[in-house]
Amino acid sequence: MDTFALMLGWAGIYGPTALGAIGSIMGCARAGQAACGAMLDVESGYGRFIALSALPSSQIIYGIVVMFALNRDVTTESAPGLFAVGILCGLALMASAAFQGKCCASAIVATKTKPEVFGLSAAPAAIVEGFAVFAFVFALVIAGGIPSTGT
């Protein structure tokens, strides 16, 4: 039972990075595919497409920071907290990156047709990013309350 609890603790520590990475992969892939498609249709403004398609990569960075904040000796006392905070934060990061990719793909299509809406079309992606930041910041705050024996 202790081993299982410890495994969950380790999953909680690595969860934000792994789940954040999965989300960033999905988001960047979707937006990147849209960017490639848009490049087939227009003769300029490629840089904007690439910039938009890279937006969902921030979630993996948040995940890495949360992982470092959670990193401590895994004991039966700390494992439940590590698991809960790490996995829930990771899921939030994954969802935000995946859906941000959709927002970015739509922004790329909009920008391709009307370059003047570049800033506005990125607003939905920025709002989604905001939710990821909430999950990230409060994971750091909550992490302070998890027992950290041996550190």
Partner 1 sequence: MDYYTLIASLPALPPHFGVERTPVSRPRLRQLLKQLTEEDADTIHQLTRFFSWDRQLLDQSEDDIARRYDELMQNHQTMIRQIVSLRINVRTIVAALRCRRDDLAPPTAVGELVEPIRRNWNHPTFGLSHRYPWIETFSDHMLAGETARADRTLFEYTWQTWSRMAAQYTFSFEAVPLYVARWEIVDRWTSRDMDAGKERFEQLTHEALGEYAELQF
Q: Which residues bind partner 1 (CB under 8 A)?
A: 30-31, 33-38, 40-41, 102, 105-106, 108-109, 112-113
Shortest separation between residue 23's beta carbon and partner 1, angstroms: 16
3-state secondary structure of 78: coil
- Cα pseudo-dihedral 44, 115, 50, 90, rounded to 10: -170
How many Cα atoms sit within 13 Å of 141 on the Cβ side?
6
Shortest separation between residue 22's beta carbon and partner 1, angstroms: 16
29 vs 61 by CB, closer to partner 1: 29
74 vs 108 by CB, closer to partner 1: 108
CA angle (52 as vertex; 107, 114 as ends), nearest 5: 40
52 vs 60 by CB, closer to partner 1: 52
- Cα pseudo-dihedral 132, 74, 144, 61, rounded to 10: -30
Shortest separation between residue 113's beta carbon and partner 1, angstroms: 4
Alpha carbon distance 24, 34 (integer Å): 15
Shortest separation between residue 55's beta carbon and partner 1, angstroms: 15
1 vs 40 by CB, closer to partner 1: 40
